[in-house]
Amino acid sequence: MFFRRNRPEQQRPAVKKVSKLVNSKSHIQKKYISLMLVPSYSTGKTRSLRIPRVVLYGFIVVFFVIFAVVSGFYVRSVYFQQRARSLGSYYQETQGAFDAFREEAEQVQSDLIDATTQMYEQLSEEQTRAQMEMYRQERRHQNTLENMWDLIEEIEDQIRDLEEDMQGIVSGLSTRVIIPPIADLITEMEESHKELRESLMPQVLGVAYDPPAVGFLSHNFTTLPSFSEDELLGRLSYIKTEVEIQRILLDDLEVYNEAIAPYLLNYPTLWPVAGHISSGFGWRRNPFGGSGREHHNGVDIPARKGTPIRAAGGGTVVFAGWRAGFGNTIVIDHGNGLKTKYAHNTSNEAQEGERVERGEIIAYVGSTGRSTGPHLHYEVHRNGSAINPVAFLLEHF
């Protein structure tokens, strides 16, 4: 079946058969559209159907409207399906993100609960530790006071020891004040100490030297709690300053002690042998008889043969041998221009060039050389000149 639209002959002049069947000039024919029905092979009859143009056009319009509406709905349905799929995918992503967020939130909540619990536990521990720390601080403060007290006592003991040491040194030196150089040095040292005491100022020591009301070392602390930390610090500062002063004085004393030491060790003040002087220094009669007088440059000290002869002071042996008239002789150089001679010895122990100490045995009493019997001839020379040894015979061994 097919549709064919009748047109005027001027438009379709080639269709002759149709023009014969349909009158193109008919007014009624213009209002209809004829449809030719092609018969099947069985009947062989041809039929036609007239449809009003208005109906056909309305049908076509309705068809296109319906088609447009259906197409619109189809497009909308496709859009909504795509939108639904997109929203479904977004929903799944959102659901996954929400689930992840919920898990994370639950984990954060759990962590917050744990942190809160731990914080409360730590706060409790901190309170406990704070109390313990306060207790430790109190104990430390008490220990500090006790340590300060112990330090004060220790430093005071040091001061006492320093004073005893200095007093011992000064006393030891004072016993040797009979030696003229030592007497001068001790006098100079006492003046130096006095000047140091007067001149030592805080800027020299680096600390304030302000003695407390209680005299130094004149009061003993018997109860530690009765004194504050400031009072202990003040006393500690004072005794530290006193220690510094004592050390400065001790250093000054050491300087003088080193200057005096050579005199103590080398100055010939020791009796070479125990006994008495049988012949003194100066002019005397000839001991071998005859007329005339001779100058005796030393002193004679009688003693048994073989009695040890000791060095009157430390020094270096500059001669050990035989000298005419003196027999076996030893000469010791004591420094400071002083030399001593020991003559008529039965034998010499010290060798030339040897260093001998004060009181060391250097020879034995004899009667060699020009001698009337066993004795020690002892001389003292200062800068090459013989002087009276009596002034040097100050101490016995």
Question: Quick one: pLDDT at residue 120?
Answer: 79
pLDDT of 379 higher than 60: yes
**Mean pLDDT for the stretch of residues 236-252:** 74
In this prediction, residue 304 has a pLDDT band, given cuts at 50, 70 and 90, of: very high
Is there a contact between 362 and 378 (Cβ–Cβ < 8 Å)? no
pLDDT digits (tens, 9 = 90+) for 321-348: 999 989 999 999 998 889 999 999 999 9
**Mean pLDDT for the stretch of residues 311-316:** 94
Mean pLDDT computed over every residue of the chain: 77
* SS3 state of residue 274: coil
Question: Quick one: pLDDT at residue 343?
Answer: 96
**Cα separations in angstroms, 238 against 142, 196, 395:** 21, 18, 44
Give the phi and the psi of residue 301 in degrees, each rounded to 5. Answer: -125, 105
Q: Which of 231, 235, 238 is nearest to 207 (CA)?
A: 238
pLDDT digits (tens, 9 = 90+) for 41-67: 555 667 777 777 777 788 888 888 888
* SS3 state of residue 131: helix
Rounded CA gap, 170 and 168, in Å? 5
pLDDT of 106 higher than 70: yes
Question: Quick one: pLDDT at residue 336?
Answer: 82
**Mean pLDDT for the stretch of residues 94-116:** 86
Alpha helices, DSSP H only, in 267-344? none
Is there a contact between 324 and 285 (Cβ–Cβ < 8 Å)? no
Question: Quick one: pLDDT at residue 220?
Answer: 45
In this prediction, residue 30 has a pLDDT band, given cuts at 50, 70 and 90, of: low
* Percent of the chain clearing pLDDT 90 (strictly above): 24
Question: Quick one: pLDDT at residue 11?
Answer: 47
- Please list, in sequence order, all residues whose beta carbon lies within 8 angstroms of the beta carbon of residue 299, skipping any fewer than 6 positions away: 277, 279, 280, 281, 377, 378, 388, 389, 390, 393
In this prediction, residue 271 has a pLDDT band, given cuts at 50, 70 and 90, of: very high
Question: Quick one: pLDDT at residue 334?
Answer: 92
Residue 273 in tokens? 């042998």
Q: Exposure of 272 by Cβ count < 10 A (0-12 exposed, 13-18 middle, 19+ buried)? A: buried
**What b-and-e string marks burial along 366-390, b requiring 16 or more CB atoms within 10 Å of the CB?**
bebbebeebbbbbbbbeeeebbebe
In this prediction, residue 14 has a pLDDT band, given cuts at 50, 70 and 90, of: very low
Question: Quick one: pLDDT at residue 342?
Answer: 97
Question: Quick one: pLDDT at residue 173?
Answer: 63
Give the phi and the psi of residue 26 in degrees, each rounded to 5. Answer: -70, 135
Least confident of 103-112, 237-246, 265-274: 237-246
Question: Quick one: pLDDT at residue 178?
Answer: 62
* SS3 state of residue 298: coil
pLDDT digits (tens, 9 = 90+) for 360-372: 999 999 999 988 8
Taking each helix axis from N to C terminus, what angle separates 229-266 and 53-174, rounded to the nearest 10 degrees?
Answer: 40
Residue in this structure with the two tokens 């800068």, named with its chain if needed: 383
Amino acid identity at 286:
N
Amino acid identity at 52:
P
